[in-house]
């Protein structure tokens, strides 16, 4: 069975005056949308390098989204098992 798909991801980054960077990541599958969030805080004694804050906040938003995807897949697998139509077992590690 062959399957192809395209999911769209949109990432917004916001830096606040206090050195906090926030990331908002939206994954749109066409059938549903999930949003991940992440933040990064610059230590006041460190030099503020916006690129580092962007990387940390975006990475944390991606981790948040990954956890949501794994949980959604787990719920879908459990739903299939309840209907007796699971053909394979998927191991989840979070």
d(CA 40, CA 18): 11
* Count of domains for the chain: 1
Residue 93 covered by a domain: no
- The parent domain of residue 58 ranges over 8-82
| pLDDT tens digits along 36-79 | 999 999 998 999 899 999 999 999 999 999 999 999 999 999 98
Q: Is residue 1 part of a domain?
A: no
Does 72 fall in a domain? yes
pLDDT of residue 15: 94
User: What is the CATH classification number for the domain harbouring 67?
Assistant: 3.30.160.240
35 domain-assigned = yes
Structure token pair of residue 71: 């949980």
d(CA 71, CA 87): 19
Q: Which helix (H) or strand (E) holds 16?
A: none
Nearest-angstrom CA–CA distance, 61 and 24:
7
pTM of the model: 0.81
User: Is residue 71 one of the residues assigned to a domain?
Assistant: yes
DSSP 83: T
């Amino acid at each position: 069975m062959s399957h192809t798909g395209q999911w769209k991801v949109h990432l917004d980054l916001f830096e606040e005056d206090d050195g906090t960077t926030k990331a908002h990541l939206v994954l749109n599958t066409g059938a549903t949308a999930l949003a991940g969030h992440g933040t990064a805080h610059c230590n006041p004694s460190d030099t503020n390098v916006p690129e580092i804050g962007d990387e940390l906040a975006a990475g944390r938003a991606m981790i948040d989204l990954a956890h949501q995807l794994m949980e959604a897949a787990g719920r879908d697998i459990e739903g299939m098992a309840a209907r007796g139509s699971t053909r394979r077992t998927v191991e989840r590690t979070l």
